[in-house]
Amino acid sequence: MTTPAASPIQRTSRDPAVLQARLQDWLARTLGSDANPIVGTLSGTDANGMSSDTVLFDASWTDADGTSRDEQLVARIAPDANDVPVFPSYDMPGQFETIRLVHELTDVAVPEPRWCEPETTSIGAPFFVMNRVDGAVPPDVLPYPFGNNWLFDATTEQQQRLQDSTVQAIAALHAISDATSRFAFLERPAPGATHLRRHVAHTRAWYDMVKAGGAGSPLVERGFGWLDAHWPAEEGPTVLSWGDARIGNVIYADFTPAALLDWEMAGLGPRELDVAWLVCGHLVFQDLASSLGLPGMPDFLRADDVTARYEELTGHAPRDFAFYLTYAALQWGVVFLRTGQRQAHFGEREMPADAEELIYCRSLIERMLAD
């Protein structure tokens, strides 16, 4: 079967020339007037993600001691409220601080954080800047199991190295001690007596926002009922949760992580949140490939292999995994509803009469709820 062609995705309505000038003015104020910074032409990224705006740029300036600096940088900017943001809110300082602490406390590969601007006065939205990292990202568009990309074409041994090293990075995040105090700023303002209860309540509020925008889903609502009926008897220890722990949010070099990206969903919760998200992220794409008659990558990121590797690294055997996989698939359903609304906003598709047509993992969720 012929692999479908990829279509470009619009992520922002911001004017690059205006943004370039504002970034240069902000950098001059940040570094001091004698630095004389110059920000080069901005470029977007073909990497994954439709949430925060990601802007690549080169910048040059003079340090206080007269040293000339030329840096390759990345700005992560909260989306414009008129561009149908994926999430209800964007805590850019919280994301920056999470990356900073992971960079300081672990050997996990993350971009080196540089500056954070929490106010909107400089460019119209909060943002932070970090060093650029070179490497390759498994594509979302078209999803890597569809074929014709570096990961699909890799050897079995290379794919295994990528899988194992990614699980190792997640395990290292979860090994950070005193996560609830060190990352207290990630506490979710949602009702619930436990971190998992608050996590799910936060997701439900996110779905309610999407539904209010005209994309309600009886399937998603049935899924929340399923979660209530199958709640784990014991949630286990609370760790730093990356939140969007999938290979599409990792820059790889030689099939090992060079940088973990996209921390919008970071929070506190059970270990299983990240482990299940890693597995489910592949399940979603593999299910799409199978529905199109493509072979995909059925032996990659299998639940049994991932959980066994995680237990080997941490001594913790993931529990109630069906619950966490179903919860992850449900969150993917909300993501697809919202990104579908976003595509309709930018004129890239028509909004269907049945919003559930936007949920590309619809059959996967239905099977999980049935099982």
CB contact at 8 A, 271 and 236? yes
The 8-class DSSP code of residue 346 comes to T
Residue 243, by phi and psi: left (phi above 0), alpha (psi -120 to 50) or beta? left
Degrees, nearest 5: CA angle 80-86-92: 60
DSSP three-state, residue 257: strand
Residue 244: active-site member: yes
Question: Which residues are CB-neighbours of 292 under 8 A, at least 6 positions away?
Answer: 1, 4, 146
What is d(CA 56, CA 37) in angstroms, rounded to the nearest whole number? 16
What is d(CA 288, CA 333) in angstroms, rounded to the nearest whole number? 13
What is d(CA 95, CA 203) in angstroms, rounded to the nearest whole number? 18
Q: Which of 244, 262, 287, 320 is catalytic?
A: 244
Active site residue ranges = 244
